[in-house]
Chains A and B, each alone.
Chain A
Amino acid sequence: MPDGVQIQTDQVNEFAQDLRADADKGFASAADRGADLHAHGVVFGKSIPGDTVLDAKNRYAEALANTEANLREYRRMAVIFAEVAEQIARDFAHVDMSSEAAQLRVQALLDGAIANADAVQKGGQA
């Protein structure tokens, strides 16, 4: 194990695999539920006049939108965490890094993974 970095790479790798499995199952299931609710939209008070009901509908619409977006992002982040953990386990097993360098390295890995995922997502939307 490199000096200055105390990490059991096997277990980190195992963590990564578990998290990736969760992303494909549990996080995916929650995201699907959010998408289903989002697709149904606001289900009450279409023809009810007054600001009281309209306020409730606006709040519900925002709750749908934010919840669905969050659940979608959670799944994506779970994948990113899994990728970064796998990378950390690989890198830290062979590279001798000081604590400061390791800190920057982890941050860069996370940033890079997120940026990469963003680029893929934007490419898919284009």
Chain B
Amino acid sequence: MGADWDAYNLPAIWSMLKEENACTGADRVLSWEGLAHDVRTQHRRLLDAKESLAAVWSPDKNPSARIFLDRMDLLAASMNDTLTRAEDTRAGLRGVLEALGAAQAEVQPWVEVRQNATGDIIPRFVDHAEDEYDEKARQAMRRAEAAIADHGTQIQPPQLYKPTHPRDGPVRELSGDGAEGGTGGTGAGSSGGLNRSSGAQPVPVAVPHDPPAPDRFPDRGPADTGEPAGPGMPGDGIPGPSGGPDLAGVLPTPSTVPAAGGSGLVPSGAGTVPGGIGGPSAVIGGPGSFGVPPGVFSGSGVGGGMPVPLGRGAAQPGRQAVPVRSAMPSGTVIGSPGTGTKPGTAGRGAAAGRGAAGQQLGPQTAANRARRDAAGQESADGVADQTWEVLDGVTPVIAPDTRPPRHDPGPGVLGLHR
């Protein structure tokens, strides 16, 4: 049965794959090839030696020779079996390693991309960027597993060599007819020598098997530390070593995001956004709204004012999702008086933070758009940029200077008026 890949996210899958060493595996494939070559050579030499022995000690005329040559046939047959299995195992091992190597090469580039998506300004429950890469990694592992299932069957152990044929009965006692000789060993001339020989005795090989524990909720947290995030485990909102934000645990479930109509709630409360996008004081839904532009989390406005475009899975009527995945400029503070409305106006509604937030975050949006253009990610027909209203009819406070301009060097210049 294959693995339950739905229980693993991309970091967990990469933690499995990164240990695979293609170079070491290739060395072993070559070793199997060399081994098969050696056994093939010796097998051929053994058959040649047997033929030459039969020529000088004919089994047709000497039943005693038949016994000796039969034993050689057993050895040759076992060598042939070992040779065949070695070639099959070499091919199977190569296939398995290639499958794992292909998955490794496929998944590796997504690790960094997913890490960037984890560290961007858009929470995971909004754009589901991490989910996309997790699913890609799972598909890659399913393909690799199917290939391993095919190639793995080629790996077959040879039969253990026994120096005697099963049809051979117990060795008969040699009568002491005065024949000298024997090998001089303890068993020479006695019965049961083969019975005492157990033939090839394999030394077991340890099978390393240490997969990460499956996670029932692999999508809850990115678990960028390489360990799968379990319920309530690190990765559910605690910033990783890289310091990137990890919002999955802070903002509990994606289901609270309004899918349409804008009446739903961004989880309220003191959900901090770690990782420096707003500093320790950045609070979604807390004091100091971000200034919600029209069309974004409109309605109750509990979500504060962060102009977060909705991504995949959370379409907003009348507005196309704009996937912005870039961090805010260094030093930008979301929720500060400069970026939103005044403290104390938090959560009053979408209109609470208009204008100011738009002006503050405008350069950020423009920068993101420039990056997208550079990356060629914008579709050919264009994507509507973030726009929001500003208040009209504000009386100008500063009027232009109507006095005629005067251009002269000014007083006290050397050489003038003297």
Contacts and interface: CB of A to CB of B under 8 A. Distances in A.
Interface of A: 5-8, 11-12, 15, 18-19, 22, 26-27, 29-30, 33-34, 36-38, 40-74, 77-78, 81, 83-85, 87-88, 90-91, 95, 97, 99-119
B391 interface: no
Contacts of B52: 11, 15
A54 B31 contact: no
B329 interface: no
B157 A91 contact: no
A48 B156 CA distance: 20
A33 B39 CA distance: 10
B212 A91 contact: no
Nearest to A54: B209
A94 to B, nearest CB: 8
B31 A108 contact: no
Q: How large is the interface on B (under 10, 10 to 19, 20 to 34, 35 or more residues)?
A: 35 or more
B67 interface: yes
B75 A77 contact: yes
Contacts of B256: none
Main secondary structure of the interface of A (DSSP, over half): helix
B78 interface: yes
Contact of A70 (B65, B71, B191, B200): B200
Residue in A29, A53, A90 whose Cβ sees the most chain B Cβ within 10 Å? A53
A30 B35 contact: yes
Interface in B28-48: 28, 31-32, 34-35, 38-39, 41-42, 45-46
Residue in B3, B64, B191 whose Cβ sees the most chain A Cβ within 10 Å? B64
Interface in B158-201: 158-161, 163, 171-172, 174-175, 177, 179-183, 185-194, 196-201
B183 A84 contact: yes
Given A101-B177, A119-B187, A63 B194 contact: no
Contacts of B64: 5, 99, 102-103, 105-107
Contact of B152 (A7, A56, A85, A118): A56
Contacts of A90: 181
A52 B2 contact: yes
Contacts of A22: 42, 45-46, 49
A108 B175 CA distance: 10
Given A67-B35, A77-B163, A103-B63, A111 B148 contact: no
B155 A118 contact: no
B57 A64 contact: no
Contacts of A68: 202-203
Interface in B65-100: 65-68, 71-72, 75, 78-79, 82, 85-86, 89, 92-93, 96-97, 100
B127 to A, nearest CB: 29
Contacts of A112: 182-183, 185-190, 193
B187 A116 contact: yes
Given A73-B163, A107-B171, 8 more contacts: A15-B56, A34-B35, A43-B24, A49-B8, A56-B152, A60-B155, A74-B42, A87-B183
Contact of B193 (A45, A46, A114): A114
Interface stretch (B12-20, B306-314, B345-353): B12-20
The 4 closest A-B CB pairs, nearest first, are A115-B187, A116-B185, A111-B193, A50-B3
